[in-house]
Amino acid sequence: MSVMYKSTRNSNDTVTASEAILKGLSDNGGLYVPDSIPKLSVDLNELAKMNYQQVAYEVMSRMLTDFTEDELKHCINSAYDKKFDTPEIAPLTRRAGANYLELFHGSTIAFKDMALSILPYLLVTSAKKNNVKNDIVILTATSGDTGKAALAGFADVPGTRIIVFYPKNGVSPIQEKQMVTQKGDNTSVIGIIGNFDDAQTGVKNMFNNKALAKEMDDKGYQFSSANSINIGRLVPQMVYYVYAYTRLVANGEIKAGDKINVVVPTGNFGNILAAYYAKEMGLPIAKFICASNENKVLYDFFETGVYDKNREFILTTSPSMDILISSNLERLIYRIAGDDSAKDVELMNALNSQGRYEITQEMKEKLSEFYGNYASEEETAATIKRVYESDGYIMDTHTAVAATVYEKYKADTKDDTPTVIASTASPYKFTRSVMEAIDPSYSSQSDFELVDELNKLSGVKIPQAIEDIRSAEILHDTVCDKSEMEKEVRRILAI
């Protein structure tokens, strides 16, 4: 069955998977969603016998139907190779009464590697399939992890340029050092005076700028996105939920067909939406537990049905979730509105003009599978310390937000369904916050001294991604105001 992709803001705007990957956003600013989600064609018991690459093919071939078997297997095998430090790609480890799906074993030690390792291959293949002659300019806003993972994926890929904007004072020191030391003749990194939402809005405005698109086309360029708004990011993320489920089956912890819960720390909503799509494909998931930090706009939405970004933006120790405009939520809104693009446009216009919208009672009833909660900064730090002391397992701040919310969920519901927690980053990416949570006396040490202390405490080898930046040269030092983002893009591309 062929799957087409339609815009959330115009259901008549339909494209193939490769066209959706190339475009990123639709021309009317909507996000591409599948017109249907086919069921998995392989039994869960059979999937449990497969490795990550094989599971990836079974999932992605159902969604990316205009890719040939050879094309898709080339993309998968090129992405999920020795750049991951474990052959399992996404190992599942049981600690402190939960199953942690470790999504940080790629080259930049965050879950974004899971999709951004394959996106360049999907994009280049899509360009060939559609006879694209222009160079593809990847334009991306990052709250910390997407930027480095995208830069690493696209560095020196022929026919591409990549420009990453990040909030200058809104990422961890390690995250920033990873980005500003990125090599590659086609890479550009710019800090903005503003927060992630400002960066994301600036990028969306450029995508929607028809005059800029015309000027770029004249110069032989066209935009695409590496953000989670790109369906080429979302589909690969579906894979690891299916893989985690089948590991539980393979380990004898559940039987094929048993339900599980998933807990996902999320800001932009893409990671948890991938789990929702995996359920639509036939994965037996009972509850989607949406974990927020103190920027708890999603928690409030699930509680009240009102999405309201009119609030203080809080800088936390889990900066990849410091987001008040959750772009991927629009895909879920479209779905619970009955694939009604007019209703979606109405709500998104309200968000744009008033900073808030309220869904109908009928829509709210369709969110019963979701549970939202949040973790304060104090709770997050306490969870890191508790799990370290009980199990010797050290998690990063984002994973600790999820673990905290999972404990709240169990206390609220008494539900003991087997649960997978998405562990989205290595603790080495947030060493200062992690080490100070374990013992505040570490605060006097430098970031790289803390790396060595974390190594001693955890017994986990220091990732190559960290070793690489200890003495790396700063290659990108541009900072601009949030209002000057388009000006910087024009400068970089000489248009």
Three-state secondary structure call for residue 329: helix
Q: Report the C-alpha gap between 73 and 80 in whole angstroms.
A: 11
Helix, strand, coil percentages for the chain (3-state, nearest 5): 50, 15, 35
Residue 313 contacts residue 197 (beta carbons within 8 Å) = yes
Helix (H, G, I), strand (E, B) or coil at 361: helix
Which of 112, 148, 177, 287 is catalytic? The answer is 112
C-beta of residue 79 within 8 angstroms of C-beta of residue 68:
no
* Cα gap 442→173, rounded to integer Å: 16
Rounded Cα distance, 195 and 340, in Å: 32
d(CA 127, CA 148): 23
- Asked about 309 being catalytic, the answer comes back as no
Contact 301, 269 (CB under 8 A): no
Query: Quick one: CA dihedral 485, 323, 208, 310, positive or negative?
Result: negative
Query: Angle, to 10 degrees, between the axis of helix 377-391 and the axis of helix 397-413?
Result: 90
The rounded distance, in Å, linking the Cα atoms of 255 and 190 is 49
Q: Residue 334 has which token pair?
A: 């479209």
Residue type at 183 in one-letter notation: K
Place of tokens 């339609």: 6
Residue 16 contacts residue 204 (beta carbons within 8 Å):
no
Interatomic CA distance for residues 250 and 239, integer angstroms: 16
What's the CA gap between 457 and 273, in Å, rounded?
35
Contacts for 87 with CB less than 8 Å, ≥ 6 apart: 51
Q: How far, in Å, CA of 13 to CA of 28, rounded?
A: 9
C-alpha pair distances (Å), 98 with each of 93, 226, 247, 402, 407: 8, 31, 14, 11, 10
- DSSP β-bridge partners for residue 291: 265, 373
Tokens 């898709």 belong to 72
Catalytic residue IDs: 112
